[in-house]
Chains A and B, each alone.
Chain A
Amino acid sequence: MNTQNIFDEMRAGDGQVRLLYQPFSEWLKGVDHAQLMQKSREAEMLFRRVGITFNVYGEEAGAERLIPFDVIPRILAANEWRQLSAGVIQRVAALNAFLNDLYHDQEIIKAGIVPATILENEMYRPEMQGVDVPGGIYAHIAGIDIVRTAENQFYVLEDNLRTPSGVSYMLENRKMMMRLFPELFRRYAVAPVEHYPQVLLNNLRAVAQPGVHDPVVVLLTPGAYNSAYFEHAFLAQQMGIELVEGQDLFCKDNAVFMRTTEGPKRVDVIYRRIDDDFLDPLAFREDSMLGVPGLVSVYRNGGVTLANAIGAGVADDKSTYTYVPEMVRFYLGEEPILSNVPTYKLEKPDDLKYVLEHLAELVVKEVQGSGGYGMLVGPTASKQQIEEFRARILAEPDNYIAQPTLALSTCPTLVEQGVAPRHVDLRPFVLSGKTVTLVPGGLCRVAMREGSLVVNSSQGGGTKDTWVLNGDKPC
C-alpha cells in the first residue's frame, strides 16, 4: 500500500491542517504530551470504576478488559455527515425491503438480480418464510461499517443486521470527552448523540404488534458473562426497561411472559442481543441455555415482536453484501449514495484464480466471520500466513470473499511516543421504526498499532469520540 496516498482526517497532503481541525490543532499545541497521557489515564480509571468493560473469551475466567479509549476526537463536517447519513439510511431501507421480499414473494430472485442460491445460506431461516413482521421491518437496529479513502469517498465495509454492538461506547465516549475537555466543546458546535436511547425506545415501542396500546419492551441478554454485557445493561438502564435473561421469560397461550415478584407479566417487544441460533432450544440449537423454549412459535404467530427479526442475518452476510447496490436500485429506484468495496467471490472460478495470484495485496474474509477473526490482511501478513490461508481457501472457496486493501483514512491518535496517525473506521447505528433515522455520530474504531488496519476491539483496537458538527466550518 502506498502510504503517500492515505487520507488523513486532520492534515491535507501538504501537511496543512484542514479547516475543520484548525481550532483543535491550536488547542493541541497548548497541551503537552504528559497532560494528554494524564487525561488518558484518568479516562481509563473512570471507565474501570463505572465498569465499562468487555469480557474476553478464552482468557482467565471473569477477565474484564477496557477497550482503549483515545482522547483525540474524529471530526466530521455537517455536509460530510449529510452524505453519509443519507447513504446509510438508504442502504438500511433497501436491506429491510430485501428481507421482507426474501421472506415473502422473492421478486428479486425472480428478476434474476440475486441468485436463488441465497436460500441455501445458513443465515436464511425457512421458519420465517411467509411470516409478517410489524411494519415489514427486520433490521430495527443496524450498524453500518464505513471507511474513508479520500475527501468525499466513503465505502461501506459491511452491514451488521443481527445484534450490532458498540453504541454504548458512542455514548460513553462523548460523556467522557465532555468531562475531560469541556473547553473543546466551547470551540466546536458538536451535534448531540445522547438521545439515542430515547429514539431506540420509541422505535421499539412502535413495532409492537398491532392492537397493543402500551407495549412492554425488554432487552434480552445472554447474561453477565457475554462480551457485550455492559452494553446490554447500559441500554436497558438508559431506556428504563427490564434487562432479562432467557430464564426470566416463558411462553404460554401464544404470548411471552416474564417472571416477576408479583407474578407473570406480559412482554410485547424483545430487543434481543442473543443470536438466532440460541433464541429457542425448541426451534434452533437444542443445547441452548440462553433462550426461551417456544419463543419462535409465539413469534411466528404474532404474539411478540423481536428486534432484530429472526433471519435478518441473511442480508448482512458478506456474500450478500455485493448485491446491496442492486437492491437499492431494485427496491427504491435510486442510485446508491455510498459505494461498496469491490468484492471477489471465491465461488466464481475467475475471481478465485485472480485472488490466489494476488493474495499479498488483498484482504480475505470468511463469509460469516466477524470480530476480525478468520481474516487475512495480505499486505501485512507473513509468507507463512498467506500460505496457510491459501490452503484454507482451496479447501472451501465458497466460504471466502476477497477485497482490495483499502487505504483507510487515518486520524491523529495519542500513543506512547506522541500523537500519530492511526487508521480508523466508523459505525453509525441506523434505527428503523416508523421512520429510518440515526443520531449524528457513531462508534469510531481505531487501530492502535502503527500501520494496522484491524480496528476490532477483540483484536486490540480502540475507540474515539466522533464529532459531527452543526455546520461545515468549525464554529
Chain B
Amino acid sequence: MLSRTADHLYWMARYIERAENMARVLDVTDRMSLVANSAYDEAARWKPPVLIADDVAVFERDYGSYTAANVMHYMALDERNPSSIVSALGAARENARAVRVAMSSEMWETVNALWLELRQRIRQGLREADIGEFCDWVKSRSHLFRGVTFGTMLRDDGYKFVRLGSFVERADNTARLLDAKFQLLLPNEDPTAEMDYYEWSSLLRSVSAFEAYQKVYRDTIEPTKVAELLVLRDDMPRSLHACYDELAPILEQLCRQPGCECLRLAGENHARLHFGRINHIFNSGLHEFLQDFIARNNALGIEIQRAFLNSPD
C-alpha cells in the first residue's frame, strides 16, 4: 500500500488511542478528587495527568496552578496542547479524511461522526460537572471505532498499520500512567493507609483492570501486583506485555525484508516483557524500567516510521 496511506492509518489509530487514554486519566483523577479526606491537596491531585503527558513546563507557563478546572481544560479542550483530547481527535479525523478510501466507509463515518459530535459538544460548552460524562463518551467512541475496525475492515496491510498504531500508543500510555502513579504514591509508604486502596484501585480502574485484578489475585491491592498486572501479564489487554504480543506478529507480517530493524527492536522489547520477573524489575527500580521501556517503545515507533511510512526513493 501507499506509504502515505499507511502513515495516515497508523497515526489515526494512535491519536484515537491517545484520546481514549487521556480520557481515562482525566476520568480517574476527577473521580478521585471526589473521595473525601483525600491525603492530597488539589494541586497534588491534578498534577499527575500533566505529568503523564510530559507537559509540566508548558502547562505551568500557560496556566500557572494545578486546579481541577485548569487541568481539565488543558487536557480535554486546549487546542494548543497537541495531546489534548480535542487535538488528538481532530488529528485523528484529519488523518482519516486524508485516506478515507483506505478504510471501510463505516470506519470513516465513525471517525467523522465522532468529530462532528465533538464540535457540537464544544459549541454547547463543556462544564466541569460534565467531565465524567465527556470522558465516558470519548472512551465509548474509541471502543466503537475499535469494534467497527475489527468488524468491517479488510485484513490487508492497512488493517495491520491501524493495529500497529493502537498498540505502540497504548504501550506508551500504560507505561506513562504507571510511572506517574508510582511516583506520586510510593514515597508515601504506608501499606495500611486507607487512601491507598482508593489510589491503587483508581489506577486499575483507569485501565479497566480493577475486576481483572480481583479475578487474577483474589487479594488486597498491592503495588507490586498492580505493576505486575500492567507490565507483565499477557492476559491483561492494556498491559505492556499484551501490547507487544500483538505488535510483534504484525511486524513479522509487515517486514518482508530479512534483518528488518523493526522486528529486532520489537522482539527485544517483547522478550524483556515475556521473560521478565516483577521482583527483578522492582529491585533495579520500576521507574527506571518504565523510563527505559518508554524510550525503547519510542525507538520502535521511529523505526516503523522510517521503514514503512516515509520511505525514501
Contact = CB atoms under 8 A, between A and B. Distances in A.
A380 B164 CA distance: 59
A49 B112 contact: yes
A339 B2 CA distance: 46
Interface in B1-17: 1-6
Interface residues of A, number: 25
Given A49-B112, A50-B109, A51-B112, A260 B1 contact: yes
Interface in A223-275: 223-224, 233-234, 236-237, 242-245, 247-248, 250, 252, 258-264
A282 to B, nearest CB: 16
A48 B311 CA distance: 35
Contact of B311 (A49, A236, A242, A263): A263
A50 B105 contact: yes
Nearest to B99: A243
Contacts of B308: 261
Interface in B299-313: 308-309, 311, 313
Nearest to A242: B2
- Counting contact residues on chain B (CB < 8 A from A), the size range is 20 to 34
A49 B113 CA distance: 6
B288 interface: no
Contact of B3 (A51, A252, A260): A260
A262 B254 CA distance: 9
Interface string B1-44: 11111100000000000000000000000000000000000000
Given A48-B116, A50-B109, A264-B313, A259 B4 contact: yes
| A-side interface mostly | mixed
A247 B161 CA distance: 20
Contacts of B256: 262
A24 B129 CA distance: 53
A261 B94 contact: no
B186 to A, nearest CB: 43
A342 to B, nearest CB: 44
A236 B101 contact: yes
A248 B313 contact: no
A248 B4 contact: yes
A261 B313 contact: no
Nearest to A249: B2
Interface of A: 48-51, 223-224, 233-234, 236-237, 242-245, 247-248, 250, 252, 258-264
Interface of B: 1-6, 94, 97-101, 105, 108-109, 112-113, 116, 157, 161, 254, 256, 308-309, 311, 313
Given A243-B99, A244-B4, 15 more contacts: A49-B109, A49-B116, A51-B100, A51-B109, A223-B98, A224-B97, A237-B101, A245-B4, A259-B3, A259-B4, A260-B2, A261-B3, A261-B6, A261-B309, A263-B311
